[in-house]
Amino acid sequence: MSASQALTIRLLIRSALADIELEPARVIQAVEDGYMTLQEGNSGCPTKMVIDRSVANRDSIAFSILCFDGRRDLVGYKTSYRHGIDNPDTYDTTISLYDEHGTPYALMVGGTAGAAVHEGLRHLQDYPPNTTMVAIGCDTGEKYLDTVFNDTWLQSHQLHSEPVERQVVGMFEAYRDSHAISCAEVMVA
């Protein structure tokens, strides 16, 4: 993406969530069920927890998967929501929540956001100019300060890779213009 191409950031606000036919209590219950399954030690990777469609003719599903990575002592959580659109291959892998001013509820993101940004940067050149690409951070980073955000911890667990770190820094430098977003370029949906 060149410097002359404008980026658009669309912020999801509460009013945009008003038409989603999914009660917060059902989402909270699905998340709680996932954590309870993990806590009970029944599985390192529990079965998908599916929230059925509330309207028979609506093409939407919501599910979550909770997994445990013992090597890094991390819990991973994935959600997915399929829209009621004509294209059956279209879905979001998370629902991000912002307040009515467009401010995200969580500011410090976890390791999965880094993975999403890495993949986005890696594939950005595969898309035509003016393509909007979104990377979603689905967790906060405070719990990782002593582990995956700590170089000493990564090295002691043989997980730190200087070549990968240099590669990621190079990707950010190559796409610097894509990340130079000023307040004037931000559009609120």
Domains of the chain, by residue range, sit at 1-12+100-189, 21-94
Tens of each residue's pLDDT in the chain, 189 residues: 444 444 444 444 455 556 656 666 766 666 666 566 556 665 455 444 444 545 454 444 444 454 554 443 444 445 554 445 555 554 444 444 445 555 544 446 677 777 777 777 777 777 776 677 777 666 667 677 788 778 888 888 887 788 877 887 777 666 555 544 332 333 333
pLDDT score, position 174: 66
Tokens of 113: 């956001």
Instruction: Give the whole-angstrom CA distance, residue 97 versus residue 82.
Output: 17
Residue (of 31, 91, 42, 89) closest to 65 by Cα position = 31
74-82, strands of its sheet edge to edge: 49-51, 62-69, 74-82, 91-92
pLDDT score, position 8: 42
pTM, to two decimals: 0.32
pLDDT score, position 7: 41
pLDDT score, position 152: 87
Sign of the CA dihedral running 177, 132, 99, 63 = negative
